[in-house]
Chains A and B, each alone.
Chain A
């Protein structure tokens, strides 16, 4: 194997592929990346068996071939090399990279590429494309609600649903839920959707942000695998992931439609209040208390660490009400909403509350909604 490649191109490919290499793996080969050179391009692949990233970059190939090298070490060295053409070759059981027109070289031990896990070909039967910015926004508006508990694996990801009118992203851990929609025809994706693991979406989201083309999502016929493919300038990046097995809970059923009490508040004021007061909150329950009164709300917390209270103006006309929340959940929800004001639609102090932006989102075709389950306060009735 021998090829000539620009340092920037190689560094990009290695860096992105490294994103899917797990830092501790029992299989030595899984801490490697696979380099495959053929006609005019180099493909670099990293995988942890669940999520695989493959990056294809242009180069001049003298001799095609495949080789596996230690991902972290190779990346460390390559990104420090001077810009300009590099000559990469495999000789005498080592991978050699020459740089700076004879100025220097580095050699890396190689592993047998034949043992590298075979990346399955995706037999896609559905495909749909989303703008890179749209995808990364939809992910950012939902992913924080996904669960990390092992007991209900279907919640360890984001549900992605299509249809003729809209695409819907949903995540929940059973304590809160977030939902983002984008209007448009996404009929390539079924209505009951697929569940993309959180970790795959973290990788995809980073690529979607820098993508110069729409991101194409392909789903395997067996619904067990999906691939996200995008162009980043001259580079082609593909993230392959195992999909999570459902069924996903019927989330529509738990979104309350007629919550009678409405409370509007400036988002930044509320975030400030919760942030300060939560410093006193129990570090496990993260409990803060909302005291709703006409025209204002109080946010308070008291533990052996200390106590605090913060009053802020709010549009609220309902009767006085006390409700407890996990400050961590609340802050993540508030951070995800881009509008200046937010509205809480509440029922009782034990029932699901809806938090929504007030007014349109910056992108007219998009909508979002969050649910949060309260903490029952110790002095609450019932």
Chain B
């Protein structure tokens, strides 16, 4: 045998395990912050130099580690938080595996300095790639400081797959927000390249903390909800329906102070909002759940971002019920049914058509190959014939435009999306758009990650015609907007566009910024089904659609129009 089975060397095993726990710089930050919290810290300070992977340090005022235990703390499965398997059921701490410190130490240069409460002095130990490189005495008030630099310096393969430093920083802000909400009694500070970026003093209530995070104006509008059943307790701060977002980016779920992702909670929350939110909008809300530790499985995923509830149905019904209560008094801000009841008197008879004739086969006739088509695709039909400029809007969704030899039916939203996408893309890669200046500049409060993304995308947004003046987190003033927008309020649109970009680009923000931004802008700024259009608007839409490079499909590949030939109609009527 060329490849006999061998037991892995301990370093190799540690390396592999480290890859699971510490998959990105953010996970190192998260694990170390959790350690600080588990140590009972009342004040935590994070300092970042350049980017998370280059170096950061976390200092806390927690119980500290005794000098004699410093090196043990760096060994795998060494922890003070758990003694036996039974302890998992009584877990009150965020960490429990004893994996974090050794894993980080294995893939970075790490220095651990600590002074236990009651001890006279502090000591430190330094490790490079898992190998101790120094130890000695140090000066420090009680508490622990962990310095991490050159993350993944010895794992070149991992370095290649790291997301952009700016994207990682945005995620770090989100993490700190979530932890700050989970631990309002802790004072948080974050300094990036010597500049104070976050400074949240210890708060006495959750609402006070929310107010420090998002500004008093926004926080004052949050609705409070609380409830309890069978040992489950929930408290929530709910955003008004009109502050709903285009993504789940505004939701923070904290279970036993643990920041988690949970489709169950997301659905329960959405259910609580009922028809106060239109489809495709997500409530912004913070949920604090406390569940008896014995009934919660936290050991589901290496990053601990998922938990398993023993009785999902009861959690769902409790959350949905509690959230629905304060919302019940709000009126729906929009009418659910639009433009009904105006069908012509013969509409019923049309429906009597035999069932076997329902298939008109329109799509297959026009055969558009959407976006992939390129130059070789079917040519666009001639734009509507001059001298016959009539167009009609059907159910406020489709535009009917007569063309030579037939009829074109245009999906108004998809068509507008295609137009805006191409225009936006052209502006992002070419000449800057003009910008309609506003008489009353709009003041918008963003979430922290939206704000960071806004700073990052600043030059691109300007190319698109946005004139923005960031006042400092979390507020931005909109002084000018891309001309020709309709319906949306500028602030709402800006937030939706930012959410769209962060959702699409995920962790590779820098690669296709123009592409992502153009898509997100087109998707959110486009006229929607249900919007009434005037005749000049319909004509402009059709003209512009057929002037685009690929009129057949929208940026998602959906069809923008179908063509119905006169011959086809003649055949149907037996002419």
Contact = CB atoms under 8 A, between A and B. Distances in A.
B483 A287 contact: yes
Contacts of A176: 439
A376 B437 contact: yes
A285 interface: yes
A175 B433 CA distance: 17
Interface in B326-376: 339-342
A177 interface: yes
B280 interface: no
A172 B440 CA distance: 10
Interface stretch (B12-20, B383-391, B484-492, B560-568): B484-492
B365 to A, nearest CB: 30
B484 A285 contact: yes
Interface stretch (A80-88, A146-154, A358-366): A146-154
Given A149-B489, A373-B436, 9 more contacts: A24-B339, A24-B342, A150-B487, A151-B487, A254-B440, A285-B483, A375-B483, A376-B436, A376-B465
B340 A26 contact: yes
8 contacts: A24-B342, A151-B489, A283-B540, A283-B543, A285-B434, A371-B439, A376-B435, A376-B467
Contacts of A26: 340-342
Interface in B411-442: 431-440
Contacts of B440: 172, 174, 249, 254
A378 B431 contact: yes
Nearest to A250: B440
Interface in A218-239: none
Interface of A: 24-26, 149-152, 172, 174-177, 249, 254, 282-287, 304, 324, 326, 350-352, 371, 373-379
Given A284-B540, A285-B483, A375-B483, A324 B434 contact: yes
Nearest to A377: B434
Contact of B439 (A254, A283, A286): A254
Nearest to B442: A174
B480 interface: yes
Given A26-B340, A376-B467, A175 B436 contact: yes
Contacts of B488: 151
Contacts of A351: 437
Contacts of A374: 437
A152 B490 CA distance: 11
Interface of B: 339-342, 431-440, 465, 467, 479-480, 483-484, 486-489, 492, 540, 543-544, 547
A151 B440 CA distance: 14
> Nearest 9 A-B pairs (CB), nearest first?
A284-B484, A26-B341, A285-B483, A376-B435, A151-B489, A373-B437, A378-B432, A375-B434, A24-B342
Contacts of A152: 489
A175 B435 contact: no
Contacts of A174: 438-440
Majority SS of interface residues in chain A? loop
A351 B479 CA distance: 10
A306 to B, nearest CB: 14
Residue from A25, A150, A284 having most chain B Cβ neighbours under 10 A: A284
Contacts of A151: 487-489, 492
B439 A376 contact: no
A286 B437 CA distance: 14
Contact of B436 (A150, A177, A282, A326): A326
B437 A284 contact: no
A73 B436 CA distance: 45
Contacts of B437: 175, 350-352, 373-376
A149 B486 CA distance: 7
A28 to B, nearest CB: 9
A190 to B, nearest CB: 22
A324 B436 CA distance: 9
A249 B440 CA distance: 8
B424 to A, nearest CB: 13
Nearest to A374: B437
A254 B437 CA distance: 13
Contacts of B486: 149
A322 B339 CA distance: 45
Contacts of A352: 437, 439
A371 B467 CA distance: 19
B439 A177 contact: yes
A287 B433 CA distance: 11
A247 to B, nearest CB: 12
Given A24-B342, A150-B487, A375 B439 contact: no
Contacts of A175: 436-439
A326 B481 CA distance: 13
A378 B488 CA distance: 23
Contact of B483 (A24, A25, A326, A371): A326
A376 B478 CA distance: 13
A376 B462 CA distance: 11
A172 B433 contact: no
B375 to A, nearest CB: 19
A379 B479 CA distance: 17
Contacts of B432: 378-379
A352 B492 CA distance: 24
Contacts of A284: 483-484, 540, 544
A67 to B, nearest CB: 23
Contacts of A326: 436, 483
Contacts of A283: 540, 543-544
B484 A373 contact: no
Contacts of B484: 282, 284-285
B489 A375 contact: no
A287 B342 CA distance: 38
A288 B49 CA distance: 48
A283 B342 CA distance: 32
A128 B467 CA distance: 43
Nearest to B484: A284
A174 B486 CA distance: 13
Nearest to A149: B487
Contacts of B341: 25-26
Residue from A26, A151, A152 having most chain B Cβ neighbours under 10 A: A151
Nearest to A382: B467
Contacts of A286: 483
A152 B438 CA distance: 14
Contacts of B433: 378
B487 A378 contact: no
A376 B340 contact: no
Nearest to A28: B341
A292 B437 CA distance: 19
Nearest to B482: A285
A149 B467 CA distance: 20
A373 B438 contact: yes
A150 B486 CA distance: 9
B289 to A, nearest CB: 35
B487 A375 contact: no
A374 B465 CA distance: 13
B551 to A, nearest CB: 16
B463 to A, nearest CB: 9
B465 to A, nearest CB: 8
Residue from B437, B489, B492 having most chain A Cβ neighbours under 10 A: B437
A285 to B, nearest CB: 4
A176 B540 CA distance: 23
Contacts of B540: 283-284
